[in-house]
Amino acid sequence: MTIDHEPSTMNHQLLDILKKNQLSVTDSRKKILELFLKSPGALAHADIEKSTGENFDRVTVYRTLQTFTEKGIIHNIPTTDNSILYALCKHDCEAGHHHDNHVHFICTQCSKTICLDDVTVPEVKLPKGFTPQIAAMVVKGVCNDCK
């Protein structure tokens, strides 16, 4: 997904994503989606809440994130402290079918979490009777910006 930060183009992208996913256009959805389109890395619930200001309460932010995840607009990223980060999905995700089997990189210096779209999670051979649903891999180290 190519992201253009021009205001008119950004607004067009926001509306396209919401309409494509059959979501009504609300201020909270537009604002939260805009944060994801502008963000180079993953966002925590607290980051989103802080960035949207006092206009949206915690429940509104939570419900919007849940809806965006269900629709395949964003995906969850597990962290070592059991919190959840969220990042924008690429264009091949859709409702009920996330295709985010890429590696997530966490910088130990700046704490930024980055989706490494070109690095896929290796296939895990499970014992008979086990059915995988989600495979996630987190790699920690020093990012390109901090190097």
What local confidence, expressed as pLDDT, does residue 1 receive? 46
Positive or negative: CA dihedral 31, 32, 37, 41: positive
pTM of the model: 0.73
Residue 63 phi/psi, 5-degree rounding, is -65, -40
Q: pLDDT class for 142, splitting at 50, 70, 90?
A: very high
Q: What are 62-104's pLDDT values in tens digits?
A: 999 999 988 889 988 877 777 888 988 876 665 555 556 778 8
Output the CA–CA distances (angstroms, integers) from residue 64 to 70, 74, 144, in the order listed.
Answer: 10, 10, 31
Calpha distance 114→121 (Å, rounded): 14
Residue 32: both structure tokens together:
């939260």
φ, ψ for residue 134 (rounded to 5)?
-140, 135
Domains annotated for the chain, with CATH where assigned, are 7-141 (1.10.10.10)
Judge whether 17 and 29 are in contact, CB under 8 Å: no
Q: How confident is the model at residue 2 (pLDDT cuts 50, 70, 90)?
A: very low
| Confidence (pLDDT) at 97 | 54
- Alpha helix ranges (H) inside 39-117: 45-51, 58-70
DSSP-assigned letter for residue 92: T
